[in-house]
Structure 1
Amino acid sequence: MVVRHKSFDHLGGFYHYRVHDVKTKELCANGYSSLKNYLNAMFSNCPNEFFDKGPRSSALKFKISNLDIKKTKNHEVCKLAENGLNENFERYKTNHSRVQVFMLENDDKTVAMEVPLWLFPNEFKYFNELFKSNWPLTGHIDVLRVEDDKIWVWDYKPNAYLEKFATTQVYFYALMLSRRIGVDLRDFRCGYFDENHAFMFKPVENIKIEKELTDLFGFVKNKFI
């Protein structure tokens, strides 16, 4: 079987986890065996209880101020999205599935979709301050690619140019996967996209998060951590 599939009933709906075995074996051969092992393990050892409560990366509503975002048109992921929307229009009900499955089946760099992830409080210095929870942060990567010996974490966003917090969401996807497989963030790249635009950045270990804090006198301050 080339593509393996498992549906997870996690908070927020059903997530259709798929892995392309042949491409995973080929693209993870040069130093990313831990990624291959992780993708395989999720079919039998995903800690589903983590996904029933606690913070979710897709719901984060703050901005990271020190990431250098590059915007481009006509990126190859945009063309893949356009083709997926057209060719899978009748095959799937949602645009996400139309794009994700098309990329998994036709793009030679896409290895998996809807990859489950989690981050423990002791794995991120500012976890308790940001998330105010003892439960792990969780999420699912839309599209996972391996290109030029880098692990690319992509999120499909219809009307991507209108997104305010997509960078934060995708950053924490990369951080979670980095912690799970023991690969340095320097080997990751991140992005979100639609059929027209792609927004890309390099994740960094030390981030600056802008938060609004109101003091006793009602003034709003900016805090960077």
Structure 2
Amino acid sequence: IKQVSLSHGWFYHYRIHSEKAKTLCNEEYSKLNSFLLNNLNNCPDEYFKNGPRGSTLRFSIPIKKKEHSNHEISRLCSQGLKTMNNYKTTHSKVQVFMLQFDKNTISVETPIWLLSDELNGFESIFNETKPLSGHIDILRVEDDKKIWVWDYKPKAEFERFAATQVYFYSLTMHLRTGIPLDNFMCGYFDENVAYTFKPEENVLLELRSQRLKEKTL
């Protein structure tokens, strides 16, 4: 496991399991592996100082999510919370457990950023021109060969905007790596329940249309 502490308004412990990443990100996902490794030493910290954060976005997106009461990731979460007593925070317990013991988890607290000129309609969507940034709690390449962008939410069933957060994280990872959005899946979870959905391009079209209507009212 390789790690670096990133000072992005708070200290984020970015960790990669380099062997799993190398194995799971071969061929079509080689750009993802390169991105993860490059961030260890060359993360552009200036993009994380100002601008919107994925975790603070407060608008809903038009997606249909599935609810899972006995998902694998919830079981892993439960194990991490029970066994990783040498870590103080629930996030660290879950993240480090999965990175160490789950065969599909390749990185945790993965830094991600999106510049305004990289997304059509950025300013209308976020009411901002400074970069969107954030950290992906759990990044997995699962048995379905999809790249899963997961966020751990201790009270997942009460979350209103978690889907928005992981949607833009997956969209950003797609834009950073050039890997088709169709190869990504999104989810958020706790030890009891998980919610999943497929990120679609049409979400952006609907958001832009919605913002346009709001401005004309």
Normalised TM-score (structure 1): 0.90
Q: Corresponding residue for 2:170? A: 174
CA RMSD of aligned residues (A): 1.5
Distance, in Å, in 1 between the alignment partners of 2:130 and 2:164 is: 19
Distance, in Å, in 2 between the alignment partners of 1:70 and 1:179 is: 25
| Larger Rg, first or second structure (1 or 2) | 1
Match of 2:195 among 181, 192, 199: 199
Q: Corresponding residue for 1:6? A: 4
Distance, in Å, in 2 between the alignment partners of 1:46 and 1:206 is: 30
Cα offset, 1:111, TM superposition: 0.2
Superposed counterparts of 1:1-225, under 5 Å? 3-11=1-9, 13-65=10-62, 67-88=63-84, 90-147=85-142, 148-207=144-203, 208-209=206-207, 213=214
Cα offset, 1:35, TM superposition: 0.3
Distance, in Å, in 1 between the alignment partners of 2:215 and 2:30 is: 47
Distance, in Å, in 1 between the alignment partners of 2:198 and 2:78 is: 25
Cα offset, 1:126, TM superposition: 1.9
SS in 2 for 1:64: coil
SS in 2 for 1:63: coil
Q: Calculate percent identity across the aligned residue pairs.
A: 49
Gaps of 5+ in 1: 216-220
Cα offset, 1:134, TM superposition: 2.3
Write 1 or 2 for the structure with the bigger share of strand: 1
Distance, in Å, in 2 between the alignment partners of 1:37 and 1:213 is: 40
Distance, in Å, in 2 between the alignment partners of 1:101 and 1:28 is: 20
Cα offset, 1:77, TM superposition: 0.2
Gaps of 5+ in 2: none
Distance, in Å, in 2 between the alignment partners of 1:125 and 1:206 is: 13
Distance, in Å, in 2 between the alignment partners of 1:114 and 1:52 is: 16
Normalised TM-score (structure 2): 0.93
Write 1 or 2 for the structure with the bigger share of helix: 2
